[in-house]
Amino acid sequence: MRQTFTVLDLLNLDLKEHNDLGLRCIAGRQGLSREIRMPDLNRPGLALSGFFDNFGYERIQIFGRGEHAYLEKLDAQGNSDTIRHLFEQGVPCAIFTHDLYPTERLIAIATDTGTPVLQTSLATSDFNSRLIRALSNVFAKTLTTHGVLVEVFGIGIFIIGDSGVGKSEAALELVHRGHRLVADDAVEIRNVSGNVLIGSGANKALGHHMEIRGLGIINITHLFGVGAIRETKQIQLVVELENWDSEKVYDRIGAEEKTTEILGVKVPYLLVPVKPGRNIPIIIETAAMNERLKKMGYFSAKEFNQSVMKWLETENARKIYMQKRQMIESLQDRLRGDDSE
pLDDT tens digits for 139-172?
888 999 999 999 999 999 999 999 889 999 999 9
Q: Is residue 252 flagged as an active site residue?
A: yes
> For the ranges 145-154, 228-237, 300-309, which has the lowest average pLDDT?
300-309
Specify whether 63 is located in the same domain as 127: yes
Among residues 9, 20, 75, 185, the one annotated as catalytic is 185
19-63, pLDDT tens digit by residue?
Answer: 999 999 999 999 999 999 999 999 999 998 889 888 989 999 999
| Residue 101 burial (C-beta neighbours within 10 Å; 0-12, 13-18, 19+) | middle
Strand blocks (E) in the chain = 24-27, 41-42, 60-63, 94-96, 117-119, 141-152, 155-161, 180-192, 196-201, 209-212, 216-219, 232-234, 237-243, 259-262, 265-274
What is the band of 254 on the pLDDT scale with cuts at 50, 70, 90? Answer: low
Distance from C-alpha of 58 to C-alpha of 34, rounded to nearest angstrom: 11
Specify whether 305 is located in the same domain as 258: no
Among residues 34, 68, 130, 167, the one annotated as catalytic is 167
Per-residue confidence (pLDDT) for residue 294, from 0 to 100:
82
Mean pLDDT, residues 270-278: 91
Average of per-residue pLDDT values in the chain: 88
Mean pLDDT, residues 183-202: 90
Per-residue confidence (pLDDT) for residue 255, from 0 to 100:
64
Among residues 24, 65, 73, 146, the one annotated as catalytic is 146
Q: Collapse the DSSP code of 9 into the 3-class scheme (helix H, G, I; strand E, B; otherwise coil) and give the result.
A: helix
Per-residue confidence (pLDDT) for residue 194, from 0 to 100:
81
> For the ranges 201-215, 276-290, 315-329, which has the lowest average pLDDT?
315-329
Question: Which structural domain, as residue segments, surrounds residue 64?
Answer: 7-137
Q: Collapse the DSSP code of 322 into the 3-class scheme (helix H, G, I; strand E, B; otherwise coil) and give the result.
A: helix
Distance from C-alpha of 106 to C-alpha of 309, rounded to nearest angstrom: 75
- Say yes or no to pLDDT of 94 above 90: yes
Mean pLDDT, residues 190-196: 87
Distance from C-alpha of 127 to C-alpha of 122, rounded to nearest angstrom: 6
Query: What DSSP state is assigned to residue 6?
Result: B
Per-residue confidence (pLDDT) for residue 11, from 0 to 100:
94
Per-residue confidence (pLDDT) for residue 172, from 0 to 100:
94
Specify whether 246 is located in the same domain as 275: yes
Specify whether 86 is located in the same domain as 112: yes
Mean pLDDT, residues 305-312: 66
Specify whether 270 is located in the same domain as 157: yes
Specify whether 112 is located in the same domain as 191: no
> For the ranges 4-18, 255-269, 287-301, 304-318, which has the lowest average pLDDT?
304-318
pLDDT cut 70: percent of the chain above it: 88
Q: Is residue 185 flagged as an active site residue?
A: yes
Specify whether 44 is located in the same domain as 130: yes
Per-residue confidence (pLDDT) for residue 34, from 0 to 100:
94
Q: Collapse the DSSP code of 232 into the 3-class scheme (helix H, G, I; strand E, B; otherwise coil) and give the result.
A: strand
What is the band of 179 on the pLDDT scale with cuts at 50, 70, 90? Answer: very high
Cβ–Cβ < 8 Å for 218, 175: no
- Count the domains in the chain: 3
Q: 302 or 160, which is more confident?
A: 160
Q: Is residue 146 flagged as an active site residue?
A: yes
Specify whether 321 is located in the same domain as 198: no
Specify whether 98 is located in the same domain as 158: no
Specify whether 113 is located in the same domain as 146: no
Cβ–Cβ < 8 Å for 149, 235: yes
Distance from C-alpha of 20 to C-alpha of 14, rounded to nearest angstrom: 8
- Say yes or no to pLDDT of 1 above 50: no
What is the band of 338 on the pLDDT scale with cuts at 50, 70, 90? Answer: low
CATH code (residue 170):
3.40.50.300
Cβ–Cβ < 8 Å for 178, 224: no
Per-residue confidence (pLDDT) for residue 314, from 0 to 100:
75
**φ and ψ at residue 338, rounded to 5 degrees:** -70, -40
Mean pLDDT, residues 297-306: 66
> For the ranges 87-101, 260-274, 286-300, 317-331, which has the lowest average pLDDT?
317-331
How many residues comprise the chain? Answer: 341
Among residues 252, 333, 336, 339, the one annotated as catalytic is 252
The torsion defined by the Cα of 284, 285, 288 and 290, in degrees rounded to 10, comes to -100
End-to-end, the C-alpha distance of the chain in Å comes to 99
Which residues touch 58 (CB under 8 Å, ≥6 apart)? 37, 38, 91, 92
Other C-beta atoms lying within 10 Å of the C-beta of residue 15: 15
Distance from C-alpha of 123 to C-alpha of 112, rounded to nearest angstrom: 28
- Reported as type and span, the H/E element at residue 88 is helix 81-88
Distance from C-alpha of 223 to C-alpha of 168, rounded to nearest angstrom: 15
Tell whether 2 is covered by a domain. Answer: no
| Residue 163 burial (C-beta neighbours within 10 Å; 0-12, 13-18, 19+) | exposed
Residue that terminates a domain, selected from 99, 116, 137: 137
Q: What is the 3-state secondary structure (H, E, C) of 256-319?
A: CCCEEEECCEEEEEEEEEECCCCCHHHHHHHHHHHHHHHHCCCCHHHHHHHHHHHHHHHHHHHH
